[in-house]
A and B are shown apart, each in its own frame.
Chain A
Amino acid sequence: SQTIHQWPATLVQPVGSPLSLECTVEGTSNPNLYWYRQAAGRGLQLLFYSVGIGQISSEVPQNLSASRPQDRQFILSSKKLLLSDSGFYLCAWSRDLADTQYFGPGTRLTVL
């Protein structure tokens, strides 16, 4: 069976510090991978998605970047965090862009 991991689970960072969130998927190959941000327990904002190693599509221009160094690893980064980067970050995977996405447990980021 497939599992998806995210770490860390929670993170408190000062403004201007760097960020690295990691997501890994087990039990499948060549998944589509996604990063979402959720503010205040409401809607999802798609940040990035990837259909393969080194292939990143950005949905919203902002302070963040994503990389996919390995088939089942997806990393969300920032060089300098802003207060507005606070939120709940969710990673997901799917076999097909149009089909079911399966979500990780999330990372709660607080920027102070």
Chain B
Amino acid sequence: AQSVAQPEDQVNVAEGNPLTVKCTYSVSGNPYLFWYVQYPNRGLQFLLKYITGDNLVKGSYGFEAEFNKSQTSFHLKKPSALVSDSALYFCAVSAGYSSASKIIFGSGTRLSIRP
């Protein structure tokens, strides 16, 4: 069975500082990993995904994530936070095309950027 965990309910960062939102996963075989962002009263927006290839994935709005197979992690990062990055972030995982498994989502991490 696959699972995904976001260990922090909330992350607080000062504007201009680097940010990290943590995600760990458990899946049989090679995972597909995703990050989404949700602004208040909006649907989720896709940020980036890892399927194969370079472990560092770049996505929308200057975000990037690093796939670490040995630590089963896929942390979301940004070098310099903006107040407008404040939102709810979801990590998600699936077991890949061959598995016919669905994506499952983490519980979400609320990111708050203070001016």
Report whether A41 and B97 are in contact in the complex, using a CB–CB cutoff of 8 Å.
no
A105: B residues at CB distance < 8 A = 42-43
Tell me how many residues of A have a C-beta within 8 Å of chain B. 22
**Smallest beta-carbon distance B111→chain A, Å:** 13
**A102 and B107: CB pair below 8 A?**
no
CB neighbors of B among A96-112 (8 A): 96-106, 108
Q: Is A90 part of the contact surface with B, judged by Cβ < 8 Å?
A: yes
Known contacts A43-B105, A49-B102; is-contact A103 B96 (Cβ 8 Å) = no
Q: Chain B nearest CB: distance from A112 CB in Å?
A: 19
CA–CA, A41 and B109, complex, Å: 11
Q: Are A90 and B103 in contact (CB under 8 A)?
A: no
Q: Are the C-beta atoms of B32 and A99 separated by less than 8 Å?
A: yes
Q: Out of B40, B45, B94, B107, which one reaches A42, CB within 8 Å? A: B107
The contact of A97 among B92, B102, B106, by CB within 8 Å, is B102
Please tell me which one of the listed residues A46, A92, A98, A101 contacts residue B97 in the complex, with CB atoms under 8 A apart: A98
With a cutoff of 8 Å between Cβ atoms, the chain B residues found around residue A44 in the complex are 44, 90, 105, 108
Cβ of A92: which chain B residues have Cβ within 8 Å of it?
Answer: 43-44
Q: Is B40 a contact partner of A98 (Cβ separation < 8 A)?
A: no
Question: Any chain A CB within 8 A of the CB of B22?
Answer: no
| Contact (Cβ within 8 A) B103 A106 | no
Residue of B34, B90, B95 touching A100 (CB-CB under 8 A): B34
Chain B residues with Cβ under 8 A from A100's Cβ?
A: 34, 46, 49
Nearest CB to that of A49 among chain B residues? B102
Given contacts A41-B88, A42-B108, A44-B90, contact A98 B42 (CB under 8 A): no
Q: For B102, what are the chain A residues with a Cβ–Cβ distance below 8 Å?
A: 46, 49, 97-98
Chain B residues at the A interface, C-beta cutoff of 8 Å: 32, 34, 36, 40-46, 49, 88, 90, 92, 94-97, 99-108
User: Other than the known A102-B46, A103-B44, what 13 A-B pairs have Cβ atoms closer than 8 Å?
Assistant: A42-B88, A44-B44, A46-B102, A96-B97, A97-B101, A98-B97, A98-B100, A99-B97, A99-B103, A100-B49, A104-B43, A106-B41, A106-B42
